[in-house]
Amino acid sequence: MNIATIGTGIIVEGFLQAVEQLDGASCHAVYSRKEATAKKLADKFGVQTTYTDLTAMLEDPHVEAVYIASPNRLHSEHATKALKHGKHVICEKPFTSNVKELEALIALAKEKQLLLFEAITTVHMPNYHLIKKHLHQLGKIKLVQCNYSQYSSKYNQLLAGETPNVFNPEFSGGALMDINIYNVHFIMNLFGSPEQVRYQANRHPNGIDTSGVLTFTYNDFIATSVAVRIQAA
């Protein structure tokens, strides 16, 4: 399968490293708005084709699937375009900014008979499957606690008055969308949908959540999901 990438960040490099280890898959093209950025990534992984025109890349007959790692807000737009051009889609988390966008993508993928896949690692890890298999051995669950805290490499830019995408509300950034999504998948894949969800967040003056706690209320237990993207919560 020939794959094209949208985005050139560090997460794309990790994806391409994994592709190199797969039989039957290769990266055919790299897309970026800037030619220099696209070429730098392409050269690093021996990719021959680069694009700065997204439509042109999607019209490339050699491209069979598209890996999307653009800013969160653009996931829906880019995935929609890829599906309409007949490409399978692997989309980074979070899938979309809201449920309405996701439902539209699912309907489109079914209509086009294409694969639509969220690149969320948590629920595919071997240890996670072991937890799911042996969870019943723990007895009656009363409390689940998940914590993903990681200092953001972009936080100093935020402190300096800049607004990197990961801390930009207009790009669906923030602790919940960026890293707490891993905890959400962990909890809901094990226990299903909760009866109630509450989110309490610490916010930067621009409105973005730099850290926060999700509380999932189930019938007879609760689960908490913490995420921190700054030095101190």
Per-residue pLDDT at 233: 38
For the CA atoms of 151, 152, 158, 163, what is the dihedral angle to 10 degrees? Answer: -160
| 96-135 pLDDT tens trace | 999 999 999 999 999 999 999 999 989 999 999 999 999 9
Average pLDDT over residues 10-22: 96
Residue range 31-61, pLDDT digits in tens: 999 999 999 999 999 999 999 999 999 999 9
Q: What is the 3-state composition of the chain as percent helix, strand, coil, each rounded to the nearest 5?
A: 40, 25, 35
The structure's pTM equals 0.91
The two tokens of residue 17 are 């490293």
Report pLDDT digits (tens) over 141-159. Answer: 999 999 999 888 898 999 8
Domains in the chain and their CATH numbers? 2-119 (3.40.50.720), 133-228 (3.30.360.10)
Instruction: Compute how many other C-beta atoms are within 10 angstroms of the C-beta atom of residue 175.
Output: 29
